[in-house]
Chain A
Amino acid sequence: MNRSWRPALDIPAFLAAAVLCAWISNRAAGPTRRLSWLPSRPAFAEAIPRPPAATLPPVTPPAPRVPDPKPAAATKPKTASPDWDPATLLARYPPLQGQVYAEVDGDAARWLQLHGALLLDARRTDVYALGHLPGARCLPVWEDGLAEKIAALQAAKADPILPTLVYCAGGDCEDSHLLAQKLWMAGFRNLRVYTGGYPDWAGHGWPTAKGMTP
């Protein structure tokens, strides 16, 4: 107990031990438990070349009233919606100008899902596996490898001009907003944040998907 007190020596030793342990454990951690030491900065990708802006539909705010798509729900396939039509998507949700993302409600999210918009789930991988929007891809904003996942989207020719729906757990969950910001940095220009998120979706009784497949 009467050992001499050397805080100037001990405290740096504690810090060094903690940093070393953190580095080793993070290297050993699985992909869903790993954290990148620096914030991931997705590479910017140029928009896919398309006709001049004049041929795009005029920029108007999205129509707030969406017809109830419930009757069609039973027959909808999970992915590759037959309703997928870039012109329809763009007509209702034109690219955003002067803002990073726009917030949308459940009805808009359902419309986008039914019309085959790109759906991105910002929640953790284990939560995604428990249930997600049909067709949504898993892009956990807090886990390592986000930049690679965004790059994979770009490599798969995800069109940054078409509406992209981003969601997380609703409430005060900000993961979808964070993901939208990162996607904007990567060149996406039509980001819609579903503020109600998965709880709102499930509360409507709309179909969901489980497991790691979109």
Chain B
Amino acid sequence: MRALRFFRTPWGVRLCAWALGATFLAAALPKLMDPPGFAEALHAYKLLPATALAPLALVLPWLEAVLAVALLTGLARRSAALLAFLLLVVFMGALAINLARGNPVDCGCFGTHANTRGVAERLMDMKVDLLRDALLALLAWAALLGPRRTEP
């Protein structure tokens, strides 16, 4: 457990926030470049009404970018980590629901790609995506908790 204490030190928290911020930035950029493609990816999840698809496809990438900037600069870091954590929980829920349905969706997390893979492969990809989101959520949690306060 000694190793885990690193994540409660100022530098451990900073590194977690930076890693999470960099990932969010990398995820946001391709979606910012192509909102219609992201809307199509969201539609494949079959979770949202048609009226919600376009606003979400437009705003969510920018929200990720804003959170990335906050996490990378340390400005309002804990609030950004909290919102990033909540977003990741929602992403995991969306993936898990479609895994349970057996509906292979293209994650859309880092932009959209042509689907040339088989159903089983894509369901496997979704499990990997879930695991990645879980790791990112742990980073967000560490950034949210912040460094351990030293008693006076």
- Identify the A interface with B (CB < 8 A): 1, 5-7, 9-11, 13-15, 17-19, 21-23, 25-26, 29, 32-39, 124, 140, 142-144, 171-172, 174-175, 178
Contact = CB atoms under 8 A, between A and B. Distances in A.
A1 B54 contact: no
A143 B65 contact: no
A15 B87 CA distance: 12
A18 B62 contact: yes
Given A39-B54, A172-B115, 16 more contacts: A10-B80, A11-B83, A14-B66, A15-B59, A17-B62, A18-B65, A21-B65, A22-B62, A26-B35, A29-B35, A33-B33, A33-B35, A38-B54, A142-B40, A172-B104, A175-B40
Contact of A18 (B50, B59, B78): B59
A166 to B, nearest CB: 16
Main secondary structure of the interface of A (DSSP, over half): loop
A11 B65 CA distance: 14
B54 A36 contact: yes
Contact of B59 (A22, A29, A36): A22
Main secondary structure of the interface of B (DSSP, over half): helix
9 contacts: A1-B13, A5-B78, A6-B76, A7-B79, A9-B79, A14-B80, A22-B61, A37-B55, A124-B36
Contact of A35 (B35, B51, B79): B35
A171 B116 CA distance: 9
B139 interface: no
Contacts of A29: 35
B10 A1 contact: yes
User: Chain B contact residues (Cβ within 8 angstroms of A): what range?
Assistant: 35 or more
A22 B43 contact: no
B80 A35 contact: no
Interface of B: 10, 13, 32-37, 39-40, 43-44, 50-51, 53-55, 57-63, 65-67, 70, 74, 76, 78-80, 82-83, 104, 115, 146-147
A204 to B, nearest CB: 19
Contacts, number: 96
Nearest to B60: A18
B79 A11 contact: yes
Given A6-B79, A14-B83, A38-B51, A142 B36 contact: yes
Contacts of B54: 35-39
A147 to B, nearest CB: 13
Contacts of B115: 171-172
A14 B43 CA distance: 25
B5 to A, nearest CB: 16
Of all A-B residue pairs in the complex, the 4 with the closest CB atoms, nearest first, are A10-B79, A18-B63, A142-B36, A18-B62
B19 to A, nearest CB: 17
Given A18-B62, A22-B58, A33 B80 contact: no
A51 B5 CA distance: 82
Contacts of B57: 35
Contact of A14 (B13, B34, B79): B79
B70 A14 contact: yes
Contacts of A140: 36
A9 B75 CA distance: 13
